[in-house]
Amino acid sequence: MTYHIIGKLLQGRYKIIQNLGAGVFGQTYIAVDVDYPEHPKCVVKQIKVNSSESGYLEMLRLLFQTETQTLKLLGSHHQIPEFIACFEENERFYLVQEWIEGHALAAELPIDQQWGCLWSEREVVEFLIDVLGILEFVHSQGVIHCDIKPENLIRRNSDALRKLVLIDFGSIQSIDFGIGAELPIYRIPVTSLGYIPPEQFIGQTQPSSDIYALGMIAIQALTGLEPLQLKADPYTNEIVWRSENTPVNDYLAAVLSQMIRYDYQNRFQSAGEVLRVLKQITWEQPPEILEADDHFFIEAAVENDNPTSGKSSPLLTGMKVGLAANSLVMGFGVYSLINAAPAYSETETLSKATQEYQAGDLQEAIALVKSIPSHSNVYPEAQATIEEWQEQWQVAAQQYQIAQTAFHDSRWSDVLDAVAKIPNILYWQSKTDKLVQQAYVNIEAQTQDLLAKAYESADTKDFSTALQYLRQIPKESRAGALVQDKLAEYNRKRQIRAAYFLQKAYKQAFVGDFDQAVKFLRNIPNDTLVYAQAQVKLNEYTQKQRLLAGNQKVASAKIKNSFVSKKSATNIEYLQGVNYLQEVNIR
């Protein structure tokens, strides 16, 4: 059942204070750790559970344990959030990680060639080297991040070197895991579109998939164009990103183009390989301060690779332009640090719209979102949010109506089922609070009544009826454990009683009392272990009962006929005597 988690205390330690967002596999929140006096913030991910079946929960539990071991290992890197804890509570799985104070890289990128400054080549190379160092470590642990994008790269406030931190390892996939399932585009977060390559659509994720995404971010920094604004060559499927308005060194352009090749086999195959190429760059130090861009050249360590010479670099001739495409699912959940980023009116507008939506004013929320200009970096997310809100609102209204109808019909379990399907909207959850509370009260009253009836039936050894009462008790009842125990107990006693009836039937048949034997057999329930055997004996004893009844009828007839014959003979003798006397008297 969906329940209010804001303000909840998990494990008696982590108090949820803010909702960060939802992914395909779960919800993400900010919490404070009350075990420490300063109450430090942390990130809590609640894993979505789609079924309460024991087999599904065991599978999810195993997967959860496996993934958390990986996250513990990854968290040892200083540019990856530290793993804090993982636990299971009320059949829900939670992951706790370090909270990174800072702003997302998205706040630093130029937008649509109009907002923000284009990055210099030096800034782009330094950015690539920084993140490639993280990816080299991640890939060395046998996993792929699968969702490299500006929102998942955080500039930590406390870092004097301004190093980036790679967050949200919810989509990680094992390099050796093999080919996964194909995933529909409608399940992909809007912010991931364009950064993740085409092979992830069919589950063929590679380490070079992360390299592709990183290359697309670098191209956005140089051009001011987001990936979905770039065009693809219709014949080669490669992204055409370099134009007359993109003054960039041929060598760096070739590196970026090879990072985003459409065919993953034609890209750099490892982060270390890209790092080695980029670290061959040496920056010129001109006597005057550079006004626009720094220039660089490649050291002579690579033979014939000096772009200033007349020879063509083998690196340049081997690289072509690549293609951007789209993505895989988010895993345990996406969280955005948009509120921690530098203040922009658009982000404030989206935040205000979210508050209105949660408070119950859908129309005002949509109006605020529509006011966000198309050049804003949050515009794609905002447009997707409108459609999502409308769909969720419709679902919430429908399920609320279903819950109300079920409540009036005293179908308490149906009330809870309907409420559980209502999306995480505070307005609708507050409307269902009283319904849920009363439904639980009525379920407990119903449970006590059914338990009393079951006990009464069991006292008279009518275990079949007792079991029927127990099975009517709603699964949401707090007496669930007791009910399960009694179900097992009464079922066991019913089996014993059925076997007892069968033995009594044998004994009665042995002494020829087939009437009593049949009565015992007919008391054996049809879902007991001896029922089939009892039916065989029932047929047998019924036939013997009929045969015995027939024999008794024949015997009775013979006795009656014998009596009638003797009586007739006596009458004849009497009549003959009367006649004789009459003759004597006449004479």
DSSP states of 175-202 as a string?
A: TTS-------GGGS-GGGTTTS-GGGGG
With a CB cutoff of 8 Å and minimum separation 6, the contacts of 246 are: 222, 223
Distance CA 360, CA 425 (A): 8
Catalytic annotation on 147?
Answer: yes
- The CB density around residue 195, as the number of other CB atoms within 10 Å, is 27
Taking the C-alpha atoms of residue 28 and residue 7, their distance in angstroms, rounded to an integer, is 14
71, 135, 73: which is closest to 97 by C-alpha? 71
- Of 35, 130, 147, 449, the active-site residue reads 147
User: DSSP letters of 61-106?
Assistant: HHHHHHHHHHHHHHTTSTTSPPEEEEEEETTEEEEEEE---EEEGG
CB 172 within 8 A of CB 166: no
133 residue type, one letter: G
Q: How many CB atoms lie within 10 A of CB 472?
A: 13
The answer to whether the annotation marks 352 as part of a ligand binding site is no
Query: In 10 A of CB 582, how many CB atoms?
Result: 10
Gap between the Cα atoms of 263 and 103, Å rounded = 33
- Residue 578 to residues 247, 363, 573, 584: CA-CA distances in angstroms? 154, 123, 9, 10
Residue with the two structure tokens 């969702």: 147
Using a CB cutoff of 8 Å and minimum separation of 24, what contacts does 49-52 make? 49/91, 49/92, 49/93, 52/91
For the chain, the distance separating the N- and C-terminal CA atoms, rounded to the nearest angstrom, is 119
Quick one: DSSP state of residue 166? E
Angle CA 279–280–282, to nearest 5 = 95
Active site residues: 147
Binding residues for ATP: 45
**Annotated binding site, which residues?**
45
